[in-house]
């Protein structure tokens, strides 16, 4: 038995992340080990979770992986925790195709209750029909209670409590409408305001939750049996190969799914290196350049000439290299920054990546490539490749969540493969793919 819940909301911007961070820090302050999870492909909220809880978060995505894989991940990473907290995505029922892939579908799959965060700004007793709808819309979803956000006064809260009483939804408390609980300017979700301290923010959010939310009651109503991981599956995860894998990890490159890294460690020995600070690549059979924020560190990246030459030589000599999004930009000849200036990069691909005229591109992607089907990932970026000098790999087909072909490119030069999509391979047999040189 342990408390388990999903933090859901009626829509994006309702305060799920603020509540989740405050809850994780409050539990940590109570000396409870809270294992955070994130519904969906978001690799930014998981970083927030780590800062608040002191425990690395895990993505649970019903498009990127199977239901059995999701259950195994939840059991594997939650087994040693005192509490399991899953942050939802968008509105509770918002999925890539109706309810498919939604927070509600994940809660149903895992059999865990939902605590609904409802933005009560400019709303009082009208919360009643909203709560009634969420309580009765789907009998398989257990709305255990509600926490109201952006509540202006005790009088305001009294109207909201009456709405809960009349709809039979338990009221667990509220979050006052306070400016200090707003995250400042963001870049793809992460704060770039140097004066903002996530640790202070998490502590303040935790204080608010302890004062205005009945945390003891929340833990009690979400306490339920936990399914332990299968022992044979755990043993299988410990199998390791002898491949040497170098993974870029620093402030510029750090968008890595936790289970992706666990899979790489099954292939062999993983070592980390920094394109920002290290002089050259470590010895490796495979190099992985994940996404991140190279556009925020262009001066330092272009000044590290020895690293640029080291990666270029690795690719020219036929080394196996995989680059995603920011990693792909880094392999371009030039990145044009947000200041409009060009910065020289590795130059494996004779192309220019630019942050000018930024436009968001996002969505799920499915690949068929080199005889492999159903490789999945997610695309999220504001940059673009200006006038690509090379065509996408001819034998790759890329589709969106609706099964329609996309314009997403996947580039190849010798044994270097790069594209904008953040791939998820937590469920793939990497050893088999490696042995077949895929």
**What's the pLDDT score for residue 430?**
82
Q: How far apart are CA 21 and CA 103, in angstroms?
A: 18
Q: How far apart are CA 70 and CA 151, in angstroms?
A: 35
**Angle at the Cα of 198 (from 192 to 202), degrees rounded to 5?**
150
Query: Smallest Cα–Cα separation from 372: which of 406, 397, 405, 335?
Result: 397
Q: How far apart are CA 4 and CA 226, in angstroms?
A: 8
Residues shown for the chain: 438
Catalytic residue list: 325
Sequence-distant (≥ 6) Cβ neighbours of residue 180 within 8 angstroms? 204
Half-sphere exposure of 391 (CA within 13 A, CB side): 5
Q: How far apart are CA 338 and CA 195, in angstroms?
A: 21
The number of angstroms, rounded, from the C-alpha of 136 to the middle of its chain's C-alpha atoms is: 30
Q: How far apart are CA 129 and CA 3, in angstroms?
A: 28
Contact 377, 398 (CB under 8 A): no
**What's the pLDDT score for residue 368?**
83
DSSP letters along 400-426, please? -TTS-B----EEEETTEEEES-EEE-T
Burial status of residue 342 (CB atoms within 10 A of its CB: 0-12, 13-18, 19 or more)? middle
pLDDT tens digits in sequence order for the chain, 438 residues long: 999 999 999 999 899 999 999 999 999 999 999 999 999 999 889 999 999 999 999 999 999 999 999 999 999 999 999 999 999 999 999 999 999 999 999 999 999 999 999 999 999 999 999 999 999 999 999 999 999 999 999 999 999 999 999 999 999 999 999 877 776 555 555 555 555 688 899 999 999 999 999 999 999 999 999 988 765 554 455 567 789 999 999 999 999 999 999 999 999 999 999 999 999 999 999 999 999 999 999 999 999 999 999 999 999 999 999 999 999 999 999 999 999 999 999 999 999 999 999 898 899 999 887 777 788 999 999 999 987 656 666 678 889 999 999 988 889 999 999 999 999 999 988 877 777 655
């Amino acid at each position: 038995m342990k408390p388990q819940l999903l933090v859901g909301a009626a829509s994006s911007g309702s305060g799920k992340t603020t509540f989740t961070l405050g809850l994780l820090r409050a539990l940590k302050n109570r000396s409870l080990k809270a294992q955070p999870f994130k519904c969906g492909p978001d690799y930014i909220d998981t970083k927030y979770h780590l800062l608040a809880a002191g425990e690395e978060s895990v993505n649970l995505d019903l498009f990127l992986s199977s239901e059995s894989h999701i259950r195994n991940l939840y059991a594997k990473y939650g087994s040693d925790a005192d509490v399991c907290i899953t942050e939802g995505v968008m509105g509770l029922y918002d999925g890539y195709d109706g309810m498919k892939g939604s927070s509600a579908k994940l809660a149903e799959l895992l059999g865990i209750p939902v605590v609904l965060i409802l933005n009560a700004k400019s709303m009082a007793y009208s919360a009643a029909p909203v709560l009634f709808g969420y309580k009765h819309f789907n009998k398989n979803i257990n709305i255990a209670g509600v926490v109201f956000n952006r509540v202006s006064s005790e009088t305001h809260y009294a109207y909201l409590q009456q709405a809960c009483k009349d709809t039979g939804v338990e009221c667990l408390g509220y979050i006052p409408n306070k400016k200090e609980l707003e995250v400042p300017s963001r870049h793809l979700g992460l704060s770039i305001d140097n004066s903002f301290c996530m640790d202070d923010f998490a502590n303040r959010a935790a204080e608010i939750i302890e004062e205005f939310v009945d945390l003891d009651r929340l833990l009690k109503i979400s306490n339920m049996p936990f399914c332990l991981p299968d022992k044979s599956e755990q043993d299988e995860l410990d199998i390791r190969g002898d491949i040497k894998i170098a993974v870029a990890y620093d402030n510029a490159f750090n968008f890595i799914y936790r289970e992706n890294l666990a899979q790489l460690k099954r292939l062999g020995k993983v070592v980390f290196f920094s394109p920002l600070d290290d002089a050259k690549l470590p010895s490796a059979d495979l190099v992985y350049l994940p996404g991140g924020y190279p556009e925020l560190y262009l001066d330092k990246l272009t000044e590290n000439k020895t690293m640029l030459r080291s990666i270029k030589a690795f690719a020219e000599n036929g080394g196996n290299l995989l680059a995603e999004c920011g990693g792909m930009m880094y392999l371009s000849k030039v990145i044009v920054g947000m200041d409009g200036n060009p910065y020289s990069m590795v130059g494996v691909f004779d192309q220019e990546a630019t942050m000018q005229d930024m436009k968001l591109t996002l969505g799920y992607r499915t690949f068929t490539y080199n005889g492999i089907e159903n490789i999945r990932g997610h695309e999220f970026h504001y940059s673009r490749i200006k006038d690509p000098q090379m065509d996408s790999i001819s034998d790759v087909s890329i589709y969106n969540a609706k099964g329609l072909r996309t314009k997403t490119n996947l580039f190849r030069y010798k044994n270097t493969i790069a594209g904008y999509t953040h791939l998820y391979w937590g469920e793939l047999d990497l050893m088999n793919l490696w042995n077949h040189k895929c």
